[in-house]
Amino acid sequence: MSAYSGFAEVYDKFMDNVPYDEWTAYLVGLLKENGIEGGLVADLGCGTGNVTAGLKAAGYDMIGIDSSAEMLQVAAEKDSEDILYLCQDMRELDLYGTVGAFVCICDGMNYILEKEDLVKVFKLVNNYLDTGGIFIFDLNTVYKYENILGERTIAENRENMSFIWDNYYDVSERINEYDLTIYLEDSEDEQRRFLRFDEIHYQKGYTIEEIKEALEEAGMEFIAVYDAFSKDLPKEDSERLYFIAGEKYQEGKTYR
């Protein structure tokens, strides 16, 4: 089963504690501080489109990109007027022209498990950015996997749905395996039987230096890294970091 194929239907219900408005406001502040006041912005790993819609409301023209058709279907069923949703793997990004900025939050980049693929994504982002464009993305930290998530089971039970989320962290590879089991009440079953969905997700923890090296190899400019939702420098116990990278000129690139 592909990632989020079963979870898509209930994703927003289980994520109702996420302060998307605050996350979007922080993101808008970073965009504007780096010269992106408006125009076209692409949201990589957009999921069900909560941040995409928030950036649209803030005045940006939005493209939402995700590899899960099921998540995109949920996004499209919302009030998504004038938002273009594309089903693409970010490692195979293919746009018709350049955009002013890319964003990727909610640890979408942690799903890239190999440095070679990380560099590939950065190269593609650089290729589709306008002159002076930027890429803002967040990452779960190695500290979070080692001390917060790793080897921990998280469960939540609600009236008509529940989930069990087992974490297994490989210290040597810095890869966290998420074994997710979802139980969802079958609305068409009078006996209130539950449907079961099982998914396995993998995320990798990267150091700041590894991200800087990958950006340099991809030809992008490292601009800043912050402890999430602040302008503070990263701490030893930071759980999430925000990176800002800039576009660099490429010979032979066509800018719109």
CATH of residue 194's domain is 2.20.25.110
Same domain, yes or no, for 131 and 177? no
pLDDT digits (tens, 9 = 90+) for 7-39: 666 666 777 677 889 999 999 999 999 999 999
Q: Is residue 254 part of a domain?
A: no
Q: Mean pLDDT lowest for which of 5-19, 46-60, 140-154?
A: 5-19
Q: What phi and psi, each to the nearest 5 degrees, are found at residue 210?
A: -65, -40
Q: Is residue 101 part of a domain?
A: yes
Same domain, yes or no, for 195 and 235? no
With a cut of 90, say whether residue 87 has pLDDT above it. Answer: yes
Same domain, yes or no, for 35 and 52? yes
From edge to edge, which strands make up the β-sheet containing 175-185? 153-157, 161-170, 175-185, 194-204
CATH of residue 20's domain is 3.40.50.150
Q: Is residue 2 part of a domain?
A: no
With a cut of 50, say whether residue 1 has pLDDT above it. Answer: no
| Triad 185, 191, 197: Cα angle to 5° | 30
Reduce the DSSP state of residue 25 to 3 states and report it.
helix
Q: Mean pLDDT lowest for which of 22-31, 188-197, 213-222, 243-252?
A: 188-197
Confidence of residue 86 (pLDDT cuts 50, 70, 90): very high
Same domain, yes or no, for 11 and 132? yes
Same domain, yes or no, for 87 and 193? no
Total count of domains within the chain: 2
For the entire predicted model, the pTM comes to 0.92
Same domain, yes or no, for 74 and 159? no
Q: Is residue 253 part of a domain?
A: no
Q: Which domain holds residue 32?
A: 7-140+206-246
Same domain, yes or no, for 237 and 214? yes
Same domain, yes or no, for 169 and 99? no
Same domain, yes or no, for 187 and 234? no
Same domain, yes or no, for 110 and 159? no
The answer for residues whose C-beta is within 8 angstroms of residue 226's C-beta and 6 or more apart is 232, 233, 234, 241, 242
pLDDT computed for residue 77 by the predictor: 87
Give the residue-averaged pLDDT of 64-91. 91
